[in-house]
Structure 1
Amino acid sequence: MILTCTNCSNDFAGKYCNNCAQPAQLKRIDGHYILHEIEHILHFDKGILYTIKALLIRPGKSIKRFISDDRSRLVKPVIFIIITSLIYTTINHFFHIEDGYISVHEVKSKAITSIFGWIQSHYGYANIIMGVFIAAWLKLFFRKYDYNFFEILILLCFVIGVAMLILALFALIQGVTKIGLMQYSGMLSFGYISWAIGQFFDQRKISSYVKALFAYVLGMLTSMITALLIGYLIDTIFT
């Protein structure tokens, strides 16, 4: 029986199109399909739990290996930071964790309020944008090392992703127990980020961890200042 492919309009016989490999008959979307899609996004087949374990125990070595040798074992970095940020965002919105710590509604600037409101609702993308600023400082502080800007950005996707999981865990505990823990999670995540970045560049030097901390803080500050300047510029132009 000759069929016409719905994807490329090629005539073929059999279960699959011999031109584009489109199935002759698509399976109906059901619960199994949804689970498969979630597994595909999270790359469970490549070990999200392995990724988290590797980044907690030996972040420097694991990320170096991903960059230069083997990219099949760790979850893709951009997917990783988006998913981990989404986990934190979901827990935060459910328990309203940040309501007692962060508020942008009192700011008179509508543009600034909108920008920081977007950041709070889209931590995954916001973290990637902030990572661009942090990567620039890391590139400056560690300019003697042979890593380009984009490789450093990959490092930050993994490291900030784990930091978001730390925040998510403490947010969940605080939401359930009502015990204020988020200030401690902030210190722990800062400590982890400094340790992981320092280990990536040179774990033998204390200066690596110090420079990593300063680069991260400066990256956060410059990204926030840039957001404020953009907000004020928008308000100036349109008011």
Structure 2
Amino acid sequence: MVCRNCGAEVTQNYCPNCGQPVQLKRIDGHYIAHEIQHVLHFEKGILYTVRELLINPGRNVRHFLTDNRSRLVKPVIFIIVTSLIYTLVLHFFHIEDAYIKFRGGEGERKSITLTFFKWVTEHYGYANIMMGVLIALFLKLFFRKADYNFFEILILLCFTMGMNMLILAVFALIQGIVHANLMGVGAILGFAYCTWAIGQFFGKGTAVNYLKAFAAYLLGFMIFIFMILGVGLSLDNLLNR
């Protein structure tokens, strides 16, 4: 027999080259339940990752980068899943988004600018990765003496921004239940968490690291918003001439 995945010769139940099983089991209810359990289980799953990032984010992200990359959920998957959770909570309780929002006049509903911002609010996972690129550039500039490259800093931001999304989701959930306006509080706490986590990653012994983390995060966020506004308004002006 030949492995359907890599083409190597197979004499047993699993390919000796890539580990692919010779006969794949059919997808059924048990398979779906197992996959959900695999993502959510406490050891090396979403819940475990959230716990570790709450207790000591800097140390755990450094450990992920240098020692063990199987303890935590993959960073890109983490930020996409957590952003999806936040979006689903908002839509379920019909809560107005307090993270990124933009309003136009009655005649501007079909503007390109509003379309861009609508895409951001519906695809936070991808939007956060793009915003993370800008924040990572500032962090690389501010912490240029640190021995971390741009992509390692981007991994740090995937974890911290994913936690920010979960913090916002928790406050959105509470707001939806008690009907109290708490999203502003969640936004402040989420921003504070990211500042603390990033500063801790680069060394928790000095307050300067936290100030640099705060400045980098704020600048990256603002430039992301201004870029959307600038491109959107420019295209709107060109089309309206």
* Shorter-chain TM-score range: 0.7 to 0.9
By how many angstroms is 1:28 displaced? 2.8
The more displaced of 4-13 and 117-126 is: 4-13
Matched, 1:180 2:178: no
In 2 relative to 1, CA 59–22 (structure 1 residues): closer, same or farther, beyond 3 Å? Answer: closer
Q: TM-score, normalised by structure 1?
A: 0.87
**What 5-or-longer segments of structure 1 have no aligned partner?**
none
C-alpha contact (below 8 Å) 2:82/2:165 kept by paired residues: yes
Match of 1:137 in 2: 138
C-alpha contact (below 8 Å) 1:4/1:10 kept by paired residues: yes
Match of 2:228 in 1: 227
Local SS of the residue matching 2:96: helix
Match of 1:214 in 2: 215
Q: Distance in 2 between matches of 1:44 and 1:113?
A: 40
Match of 1:58 in 2: 56
Q: Distance in 1 between matches of 2:227 and 2:79?
A: 22
Match of 2:82 in 1: 84
**Cα deviation code 1:87-112 (max 9, x no counterpart):** 10000011121268865452527111
In 2 relative to 1, CA 13–96 (structure 1 residues): closer, same or farther, beyond 3 Å? Answer: same
Q: Distance in 2 between matches of 1:20 and 1:122?
A: 34
Matched, 1:93 2:94: no
By how many angstroms is 1:51 displaced? 1.1
Aligned-residue CA RMSD in angstroms?
2.7
C-alpha contact (below 8 Å) 2:116/2:228 kept by paired residues: yes
What is the identity, as a one-letter code, of the residue corresponding to 2:155? I
Local SS of the residue matching 2:104: coil
For this pair of structures, how many residues does the alignment match?
237
Local SS of the residue matching 1:185: helix
Match of 1:27 in 2: 25
Q: Distance in 2 between matches of 1:58 and 1:16?
A: 39
